[in-house]
Amino acid sequence: MIYPTRVYRWRAVLSIDCDNRLESVTDLGCPSTPKYYNSNDYQGRCVKRGVEGCYGVPPTTVTEYCYDGDQIIADYNSSGVLLRKYVYGPGIDEPICMIDVQNGNKLYYYHYDGLSRLVR
């Protein structure tokens, strides 16, 4: 049985930097501001990410990241209010849990399969 599918076309311009990292995505239907942007530090880590509105509307979501070495340990909004904290295990890429400060310090634990892959 064949089911009909719809194809939606979204025309956008992707902007990348000299290290081939995404800087911004601009919707051609609203070319005045980028819909999505990244800011990276000198080590190539994403330190700021934002999603902007259209036609001069201020950013709806801006997240700034705080690192300890190569690991993100906290997320802040544009006003400097702590949003989330992250707890890591002994390895470089072993997150144990995320603490959602904005939601009453609710804990979210990461779960792994037998091959140490993160599962949902």
Q: Which helix (H) or strand (E) is 38 found in, with range?
A: strand 36-40
CA 12 to chain centre: 19
Pairing between strand 61-68 and 46-51? antiparallel
Task: Count other Cβ atoms within 10 Å, centred on residue 75.
Answer: 20
Q: What pLDDT score does 22 carry?
A: 82
CA 67 to chain centre: 14
Q: What pLDDT score does 8 carry?
A: 45
CB 38 within 8 A of CB 16: no
Model pLDDT for residues 94-104, shown as the tens digit of each residue = 889 999 999 99
Instruction: Tell me 102's DSSP state.
Output: G
Q: What pLDDT score does 65 carry?
A: 94
